[in-house]
Amino acid sequence: MESERETPKSERILSEIRLFREREKVRDVDEPMEKMVIFRVAGELYAFPGRNVMEILPAMEISPIPGTPPCIPGLITVRGEIESVLDLRSILGLPGLSEGEGQILLARGGSIRSGVLIDSVEDVADVPLSAIFPPPSTLGGGAGEFVAGRIDMGCGNVLLLDTDRIFVLAAAP
Partner 1 sequence: MAIEMVDSLNEGSYPRLLVFCAGSLLFGADADQIDSLDPFDPDDPPRHAVPFHQAIGLGCSPPFRFPEVCTISRGKDVCRLIIEAPEDIICADTRLLQPLPPLVAPFALRRGIWAALPGKRGILLALDPRRLATERNLWHTQGDIA
Partner 2 sequence: MKIRTKFTLLNIVLVTSAVAITTIVSLAHIHGDAVERARAVQESHLRTFWTLLKGKGGTFSVRDGKLFAGDYLINGNYELPDKVKELFGGTATIFMGEKRVSTNMITPEGVRAVGTVLEGPPRDALFREGKPYRGDAVIFGIPYFTAYDPIRNEAGEVIGALYVGVKKREYYEGYERLKKGGIVVALLVGGLFGLVSILLVGKLLSPLKEMVQRLHGISDNETGVTDLGVRLNDDSGDEIGMVAGEFNALLEKMRQITNGVAHATREINSFAGTISSAVHHQASFTSQLSSSVSEISSTMEEFTSTASEIARHSQGVVDIADTTLRDTRDGAAQVETLTEKMGEICDDNEAGICEILELGKKSKEITKIMGIINTIANQTKLIAFNAALEAASAGDAGRRFGVVAQEIRRLADSVFESTDEIEGRIAEILDAVNRLVVASEKSSKGIRDGLEYSTQTSGLLRDLVSGAESTTSAARQISLSTQQQQTASSQVLVALRDIEEGVHFSSGSIQETSEISRNLTAMAVQLSRMMKKFTGPEEGMATHSGHEADQTAGVV
Q: Which residues of 45-80 are buried (b: 16+ CB within 10 A; e: fewer)?
A: bbbbbbebbeebbeeeebeeeeeeeebbbebbeeee
Q: Which is nearer to partner 1, 14 or 65 (CB)?
A: 65
Q: Is 56 in the site for partner 2 (CB under 8 A)?
A: yes
Confirm if 56 and 106 have CB atoms less than 8 A apart.
Answer: yes
Question: Which of 20, 46, 146, 167 lies at the binding interface for partner 1 (CB under 8 A)?
Answer: 167
Of 41, 52, 84, 131, which lies in the binding site for partner 1, with binding defined by CB under 8 A? 84
Quick note: the x/- pattern for partner 2 over 83-122, rule CB under 8 A, is: --------------------x-----------------x-
Stretch that binds partner 2, among 1-9, 81-89, 131-139, 162-170 (CB under 8 A): 1-9
For residue 169, give the nearest of 114, 120, 118, 132 by alpha carbon.
Answer: 114
- Check binding of 86 to partner 1 (CB under 8 A): yes
Instruction: Please name every residue paired with 158 in a beta bridge, in sequence order, or none if there are none.
Output: 151
Distance CA 43, CA 40 (A): 6
Q: Is 60 in the site for partner 2 (CB under 8 A)?
A: no
| Nearest approach, Cβ of residue 126 and partner 1 (Å) | 30
Q: Where does the chain have alpha helices with state H?
A: 8-27, 88-92, 163-171
Residue type present at position 121: V
Taking residue 115's Cβ as centre, other Cβ atoms within 10 Å add up to 25
CA 153, 135, 94: angle at the middle one, nearest 5?
Answer: 90
Q: Contacting partner 1 (CB under 8 A), which of 4, 6, 61, 101?
A: 61
Return the one option of partner 1, partner 2, none that residue 170 interacts with (CB less than 5 to 8 A, by type).
partner 1
Q: Contact between 152 and partner 2 (CB under 8 A)?
A: no
- Positions that interact with partner 1 (CB under 8 A): 61, 63-69, 72, 74-75, 77, 80-84, 86, 112-114, 167, 170-171
